Amino acid sequence: MIRPLLALTLLSIIATIGPTSVRLWHSGSQEPCAQDREAWVTRALEKMETVKPGMTRRDLLAVFTTEGGLSTGLHRTFVSRDCHYFKVDIDFKAVGRPNRDKDGRVTLDEDSRDIVVNVSRPYLQFSIGD
């Protein structure tokens, strides 16, 4: 009589704890992957935040690349080299040429020596294709 009761108790404990321990084991196996993604995003953001006003367009292009869409020689959206969904908008001061043409329009000319004057906060957005 005691053995069947002991077996029944043991089975009910396994039935109660079993699904919980499987769930804990499964979620535990996903954590390293989530941590890897978080670490990768952290590294990408830290790299993006190295771009500061006063740097040149050439310096900027070590971290970012250009994206399609509307732009001028003094304002453009750039995408992270790590992930093209990570973006910033950059304003420049022209070097070696006037900011505007003789009619007062901002020129489309760009120069690797142009100076970064403003960097937006990084944001997420799908890619824009021309």
- What dihedral angle (degrees, nearest 10) is formed by the CA atoms of 45, 46, 52, 56? -90
Single out the residue of 31, 33, 65, 73 nearest to residue 48, CA to CA: 65
Task: Flag whether pLDDT at 15 surpasses 80.
Answer: no
pLDDT of residue 23: 46
% of the chain beyond a pLDDT of 90:
59
pLDDT of residue 17: 60
Task: Flag whether pLDDT at 107 surpasses 80.
Answer: yes
Q: Provide the whole-model pTM.
A: 0.72
Q: How far is CA 38 from the centre of its chain?
A: 10
Tokens of 63: 């971290």
β pairing state of 123-124 and 115-119: unpaired
Spatial CB neighbours of 100, under 8 Å, sequence gap ≥ 6: 106, 107
- End-to-end Cα, the chain, rounded Å: 80
Tell me if residue 19 falls in helix, strand or coil: helix
Of 31-35, 70-74, 94-98, give the lowest mean pLDDT range. 31-35
Q: pLDDT band for position 106 (50/70/90)? A: confident
Determine if residue 68 is left, alpha or beta; phi over 0 gives left, psi from -120 to 50 gives alpha, anything else beta: beta
Digit-coded pLDDT (tens) for 34-88: 889 999 999 999 999 999 999 999 999 999 999 988 899 999 999 999 999 999 9
Residue spans per domain, the chain: 18-124
CA distance 22 to 27: 9
